[in-house]
A = this chain, B = another copy of it.
Amino acid sequence: MTDIRAYLGRVAHATDAVLDKLLLGRTVYPPSIHAVMRYSTFAGGKRVRPALIMAAYEACGGKFGNKKVLLACASIEMLHTFSLMHDDLPCMDDDDLRRGKPTAHRAFTEALAVLGGDALCIFAFECLARTGRIDIVEDIARSLGTRGMIGGQVVDIESEGKKVGLKTVEYIHTNKTAALITASVRTGALLANAPAGTLGRLTRFGRHIGLAFQIVDDILDEEGTTAQLGKDAGSDRASGKATFPSVAGMAASKHRASALIRQSLNDIAFLGTKGTMLAAIAEFIGKRAN
């Protein structure tokens, strides 16, 4: 049996060690910005995106723990943290809790939450550049832009309190969440110099698990408790968020999440046993719904 939790733990441990080396501390001037960057980066994420980079890299013939790959793992996690810090701001989702802790603008100031997010984004690109792979810098930047993560975030904010259809919800999910997840899978494959065909199939895999990830997130927001979630349960409904359950209903949402995971497993069937860990991560993402 594939021990997915042990794998996530190994990747998180290795990624966090690199992040700890890369990120400056309070002793470096100006202390506040380095403090907020560390605070949000080490707030207890599961490091799913780094796990996807590493698993895709291994699936394409790479070896666990490669230094350039870990640099990419650390970078992608900084980019993810940057997006969360800005999402949580009063002018966006206005969230007080994230992973059970006060959000950056609550624990520090709003200015430091904006600048800390900016700094993590910028530093991530500096670190990505250090991998020497300019194609990956461009690929990740594209996935984060207005036709990727930022685009999804814009429509998410602008749909609040409005009646939107399933097409809009899928747009939000595909861009806000699936884009960076897909970029993670692609990064692992690109670092392993995977052929174009493999890259294409892994891109589809990324989109399917990315979309499933956000649907499951929406389901948990409805069904979970605040203690389980580490953030206010039911906050999506309270703020009038466009979610999959609110548009399609709970049963259809669960059905869709399961179908997406099945599709994703199909996408990587060609990898055979080399795809075992990617498949386990896909199933892990799907199981969070139960």
Residues of A96-141 at the interface with B, using a CB-CB cut-off of 8 Å, are 109-112, 114-115, 117-119, 121-123, 125-126, 129-130, 132-135, 137-138, 141
> Is B33 a contact partner of A151 (Cβ separation < 8 A)?
yes
| Residues in B neighbouring A122, C-beta threshold 8 A | 121, 141, 144-145, 150
A6 lies within 8 A of chain B by Cβ: no
> Is B129 a contact partner of A141 (Cβ separation < 8 A)?
yes
A191 CB to nearest B CB, Å: 15
A19 lies within 8 A of chain B by Cβ: no
A197 lies within 8 A of chain B by Cβ: no
> Is A123 a contact partner of B145 (Cβ separation < 8 A)?
yes
Other-chain residue from B37, B117, B130 in contact with A146 (beta carbon distance below 8 A): B37
A214 CB to nearest B CB, Å: 17
- Residue on B with the closest CB to A110? B91
Tell me the number of copies of this protein. 2
- One of A152-160, A228-236, A246-254, A274-282 at the interface: A152-160
> Is B138 a contact partner of A115 (Cβ separation < 8 A)?
no
> Is B33 a contact partner of A146 (Cβ separation < 8 A)?
yes
A34 lies within 8 A of chain B by Cβ: yes
> Is A129 a contact partner of B134 (Cβ separation < 8 A)?
yes
Taken residue by residue from 226 to 246, chain A's Cβ proximity to chain B (1 for < 8 Å, 0 otherwise) reads as 000000000000000000000
A272 lies within 8 A of chain B by Cβ: no
The complex places the Cα of A138 from the Cα of B151 at a distance, in Å, of: 26
A24 lies within 8 A of chain B by Cβ: yes
A40 CB to nearest B CB, Å: 14
The complex places the Cα of A290 from the Cα of B157 at a distance, in Å, of: 46
- Total interface residues on A, using CB and 8 Å? 48
Interface of A is mostly: helix
A89 lies within 8 A of chain B by Cβ: yes
The complex places the Cα of A125 from the Cα of B122 at a distance, in Å, of: 9
| Residues in B neighbouring A24, C-beta threshold 8 A | 146
Other-chain residue from B29, B121, B141, B146 in contact with A151 (beta carbon distance below 8 A): B29
Known A109-B91, A111-B92; contact A125-B137, beta-carbon cutoff 8 A = yes
A30 lies within 8 A of chain B by Cβ: yes
| Residues in B neighbouring A121, C-beta threshold 8 A | 118, 121-122
Residues of A160-210 at the interface with B, using a CB-CB cut-off of 8 Å, are 171
| Residues in B neighbouring A135, C-beta threshold 8 A | 129
The complex places the Cα of A114 from the Cα of B82 at a distance, in Å, of: 12
A28 CB to nearest B CB, Å: 8
- Residue on B with the closest CB to A136? B129
Known A89-B114, A91-B110; contact A119-B30, beta-carbon cutoff 8 A = no
> Is B109 a contact partner of A146 (Cβ separation < 8 A)?
no
Q: Can you give 16 A-B contacts (C-beta < 8 A)?
A: A24-B146, A28-B146, A28-B147, A30-B146, A30-B154, A32-B154, A37-B146, A86-B114, A86-B115, A112-B154, A118-B150, A119-B146, A122-B145, A125-B125, A129-B138, A134-B134
